[in-house]
Amino acid sequence: MQNDSVIIANKLTKKFGHFTAVDAITFDVRKGEIFGFLGANGAGKTTAIKMMCGLSRPTAGEATVAGFDVNTQPNEIKKHIGYMSQHFSLYQDMTIRENIRFYGGIYGLRGKVIKQRREELIAELGIEEYANRRVEELPLGWKQKLAFSIAIIHEPEIVFLDEPTSGVDPITRRQFWNMIYEAAERGITVFVTTHYLEEAEYCNRVSIMVDGQLRDLDTPKALMDKYHKKNMNDVFVQLASTSTRTE
Amino acid sequence: MRILKYLLRKEFQQILRDRGMLPIIFVVPVFQLVILTYAADFELKNIKYVIVDRDRSQESERLLARFNSSKNFHNMGERTDFKDGMEALDRNQATLLVRIPNGFSRDLQKEKNATIMLDVNSIDGQAASLSYTYASEIIRKFNDEIAMEWNGLPQKASFPVEVKTRYWFNPEMEYKNLMVPGILAMLVTMVGMFLSSMNVVREKEIGTIEQINVTPVSKIAFLTGKLTPFWILSIFELSFGLVIGKLLFDIPLSGSLGLLYGFTAVYLLVILGLGLLISTMADTQQQAMFLSWFFMVIFILMSGLFTPIENMPVWAQKLTLLNPIAYIVKVIRAVLLKGSTFADIKNDFIVMAGFAVVILSMAVYNYKKRA
């Protein structure tokens, strides 16, 4: 394991009763990389993310995120990460400006900084005309882009994105990935799960989870070579079809 | 502290923006205050009674005339015998059966002592005892009158001790003075409890709580942000109710309003804390609603608001020591009607502060940022 790893997981495990949702996964994520976290529905991706974000307590194993222990320092971790869940999590009954100010505020940013970032962000997204309208009035694609911008408003070291592009049209998805690239260029490590396998090819490295276990981890190209497939979709199908879990 | 400012701003924005909710918070209580105050009238008018008069004397008729002219009683006519009279009670045609036995006037004149029988339908115990009290009052006056005629003065011999009652603190026995403060306490409680119990669970339902939980916001800051707006709103609600109570029912404001607000402020921490505790326990707004109702119904019925705590069995009286609503009902009545001072309600203050510490700690403990 390298020193510039921002996430190091070692046999991280979560059990719910007799069911092992995440089964001793071991991996590391390097600083500044875009790390794809793939797996079929129910493979345990969200549970694994929640453990790393300090939302869920691991049953066994350990992990450090941004240098802090998930078992003992969840609150320290929370200061250094951003998180965008698969449920849309902005306040629909508040305006875009209010949402940005609120999340900036609870991450402890100063009023001036919030104001400046807020206006920059609104300009970048090109949503000036919506800025004082309620979030519920925004089209879904824009909501997702806004949610991502807010998730990194405090310039975290790592941002966790749990299926950020589900239900979004291809053009918006493309724009969304441009935002991810920009964030990565600024040095924010991106940890992303997705169902769209062509998106997996945009990642620096990809891991594939099957039945709670990490089946493989490498660059998309190396994985395609290894399994003699032309695209990530076929790699995924081959690995995921070994699943014995029923949904 | 700086973070709390943002939390508070967000909660206020959401509350004030909810166009459906604000009117409910202020219109519904007015209705409740007005309707309940008029409806919860403990004075009984027109108690229906039937008569079985086996004596048919001048005296018996004079006694019955007294019943007839009382505004508390309504004559449902005469029945031939006891069985007939009881049937009237059975069929709910009457609440009271007045039986005057044969020889009533003879005994009265000869023995200076006669008996009449009152049979009361006691399904509603409170109404029964009131009927009995009113009837006794009529009979006592009849006694005095007879004695006066025969002896020229009230017959002291048969009433060696005469009881005269003066009604303190509520001299006109104005039930409104008793009910308005109590109902006010109940309203403030209901608004605070329901709003706070639905709140955190609502964020659970729409999923925003997860986004909060992944931030470094502390549990105490988050719950303080939730509690404060409802606390202010409930205090406002109390003021609103007091103004209406004063304007519509002219309730007395004998004691210090500052003291009343001080106690209510502490009391609200308990109620809102309980609401937040429920909210952290429940997974859906439905569950939260059900739990709140459960507590509200028990607390209100055992608060002494509608039925005096002194009427309850001893174990139930002891239970009311744990009921915050019982304290606020007692204190609000004491301060408004009796003009109680801080020294009088100091113990209630201490108990309430203790409740607040326990409940709020439980709410903070029970709110888990991490599953």
Q: A53 to chain B: nearest residue by CA? A: B214
* CATH number, position B140: 3.40.1710.10
Global confidence as pTM: 0.81
Contacts of A58 (CB under 8 A, 6+ apart): A12, A13, A14, A51, A70, A71
Query: Residue B16: beta bridge partners?
Result: none
CA angle, A4 then A7 then A13, to 5°: 150
Residue A124 lies in a domain: no
Do B18 and B72 have their domain in common? no
Q: Do the Cβ atoms of B6 and A75 come within 8 Å?
A: no
Residue B156 lies in a domain: no
What DSSP element (H or E) covers B49? strand B47-53
Q: Do the Cβ atoms of B371 and A90 come within 8 Å?
A: no
pLDDT < 70 regions, chain A:
1-3, 246-247
End of a domain among B117, B151, B185? B151
Do B183 and B143 have their domain in common? no
Residue A45 lies in a domain: yes
Output the CA–CA distances (angstroms, integers) from residue B33 to A213, B196, B244, in the order listed.
62, 22, 9
Residue B183 lies in a domain: yes
End-to-end CA distance of chain B: 26
Do B23 and B98 have their domain in common? no
pLDDT of B322: 94
pLDDT of A193: 93
Å between B230 CA and nearest CA of chain A: 18
At B73 the three-state DSSP class reads strand
Do B220 and B347 have their domain in common? yes
Residue A146 lies in a domain: no
Contacts of A153 (CB under 8 A, 6+ apart): A82, A100, A103, A104, A107, A109, A114, A117, A121
Q: Rounded to whole angstroms, how far apart are CA atoms B271 and B310?
A: 24
Å between A86 CA and nearest CA of chain B: 10
Residue B165 lies in a domain: no
Q: Do the Cβ atoms of A54 and B2 come within 8 Å?
A: no
Residue B163 lies in a domain: no
Residue B224 lies in a domain: yes
What DSSP element (H or E) covers A156? none
Do B106 and B223 have their domain in common? no
Q: Do the Cβ atoms of A54 and B369 come within 8 Å?
A: yes
Residue A50 lies in a domain: yes
Residue B169 lies in a domain: no
Q: A47 to chain B: nearest residue by CA? A: B371
Do B119 and B223 have their domain in common? no
* CATH number, position A67: 3.40.50.300
Residue B157 lies in a domain: no
pLDDT of B131: 83
**Residue A210 belongs to domain spanning:** 5-89+157-240
Residue A101 lies in a domain: no
Q: Do the Cβ atoms of A89 and B369 come within 8 Å?
A: no
Q: Do the Cβ atoms of B369 and A74 come within 8 Å?
A: yes
Do B339 and B354 have their domain in common? yes
pLDDT along chain B (371 residues), means of 10: 92 87 81 81 78 88 88 87 87 88 84 82 79 84 79 54 57 72 91 91 91 93 95 93 90 92 97 96 94 94 87 90 95 92 94 97 92 74
Å between B370 CA and nearest CA of chain A: 4
Do B250 and B362 have their domain in common? yes
ipTM field: 0.90
Residue A35 lies in a domain: yes
pLDDT of A192: 96
Residue B166 lies in a domain: no
Residue A129 lies in a domain: no
Chain A residues in contact with B6 (beta carbon < 8 A)? 101-102, 104-106
What DSSP element (H or E) covers A193? strand A189-193
Do B102 and B191 have their domain in common? no
pLDDT of B160: 46
Pick from A173, A112, A114: nearest CA to A141: A173
Å between A94 CA and nearest CA of chain B: 7
How many domains does chain A divide into?
A: 1
Do B8 and B56 have their domain in common? no
How many domains does chain B divide into?
A: 2
Pairing of strands A81-84, A68-69: unpaired
Do B36 and B73 have their domain in common? no
**Residue B129 belongs to domain spanning:** 47-151
Chain B residues in contact with A102 (beta carbon < 8 A)? 6, 9-10
What DSSP element (H or E) covers A21? strand A19-30
> What is the b/e burial string over A70-88, where b = at least 16 CB atoms within 10 angstroms of the residue's CB?
bbebbeebbbbbbbbbbeb
Question: Which of the residues A16, A72, A89, A90 would you substitute to probe the B interface, choosing the one with the greatest number of B C-beta atoms within 10 Å?
Answer: A89
**pLDDT tens by residue, A158-192:** 999 999 988 889 999 999 999 999 999 999 999 99
Query: Residue A60: beta bridge partners?
Result: A13
Q: Do the Cβ atoms of A87 and B210 come within 8 Å?
A: yes
pLDDT of B33: 86
Do B182 and B139 have their domain in common? no
Q: Do the Cβ atoms of B18 and A93 come within 8 Å?
A: yes
Pick from A56, A102, A105: CB nearest B371: A56
